Amino acid sequence: MPLLRRCTAALLVTACGVSTPQGPAPRSPNPDPARGALRVETVARGLAHPWALAEFPDGRWLVTERPGRLRIVARDGTLSRPIANVPEVHARGQGGLLDVALDPAFARNRRIYLSFAEPAPDGSAGTAVARAQLSDTALTYVEVIYRQDPKVFSDAHFGSRIVFARDGTLFVTQGERFAFRAQAQDLGSDLGKIVHITTDGAPAPGNPFLGRTDARPEIWSYGHRNVQAAALDPATGQLWTAEHGARGGDELNHPEAGKNYGWPVITYGRDYNGSRIGEGAVKAGMEQPVYYWDPIIAPSGMTFYTGDAFPGWKGSLLVGGLASKALVRLVLQNGAVVREERYLGEVGERIRDVAQGADGLLYVVTDEEDGKLLRLRPGG
């Protein structure tokens, strides 16, 4: 990667790594939703708080439900019975069955990966990742390959998205579990970290803290609050994420190896009681976000658009919004956000995940008790 692209745009950089704060990151203009700009079709309904979706090679969809169910949605919208042998989940608060990703060789090996809130016998819980083989009715060869350490007594901020890197390794995003925010700065803890692992769960080769006795070898980046949106830029292979702030301060980042993204030392948000968090918004040695939202959108789910169905959208970053009840389109130029647009305000439901189908259309799930899988087309 060229030297200048590795440096944070919001910092005055000398020798890339010795940096002096140079003011705030760009803030969202908080645009109004573009009502009616997309044609919305309901593919399926009756999903209980769907959290993630992944498309099969045959055009069907695999959907997680946060209470702990995994379902297949047929092309005609019919819901399967819950898939058997899903790992037990801690379905409390923000916990439950979270992300799902198909192995890049799924057509050959039928392997999937699930992230979930894993319960412990003492009532604590932690983010975990399991792999399994999938039939139309059950999971087999289920194996937990990653467990967040430590497990803690909290029902919040589990993350979690799974993203395949180009080399077949996995990025797993997590949260700092809300009441344990200081651990986001502790390299001896997985809380508030993005981890980088192999498909067997081992630390990925080349991880930044391999060989250090004071840091966990699976850590990729740290200082994160609660990352529920992540995607790989298909043009560059760069990981991008969006994470929840508190009152204000949702962030768009492209996390790089070994870097500190500041939480809870720096943030653009305030605590829920209105009090200040940390030391301000900028500090030397800590990364600035590419972009931040205040008011928040509560980001969840993300994809880069690569199709042709939406004219002019190729290369856009699409992010689901829970609090904003919107699909957020970000136009990127040279690694910076140059425009933001919001869609689906007329739907009035929390957008939990977004994916591009093989047909070039967009698909979203809504985080509701009667959640829906929606297909989006251009036009009013």
Active site residues: 157
How far apart CA 43 and CA 366 sit, in angstroms, is: 12
Look up residue 273 and give its two tokens. Answer: 């009681």
How many CB atoms lie under 10 A from the CB of residue 136? 9
Tokens describing residue 267? 């943030």
Asked if residue 173 lies in contact with residue 160, where contact means CB atoms within 8 angstroms, the answer is yes
The residue type of 162 is I
DSSP state of 32: P
Distance of alpha carbon 45 from alpha carbon 38, whole angstroms: 19
Residue 319 near residue 352 (C-beta atoms within 8 A):
no
Instruction: Decide: 322 and 367 in contact? Cβ < 8 Å.
Output: yes
Q: Which of 213, 217, 211 is nearest to 193 (CA)?
A: 217
Count other C-beta atoms under 10 Å from residue 211's C-beta. Answer: 7
Q: Is 6 helix (H, G, I), strand (E, B) or coil?
A: helix
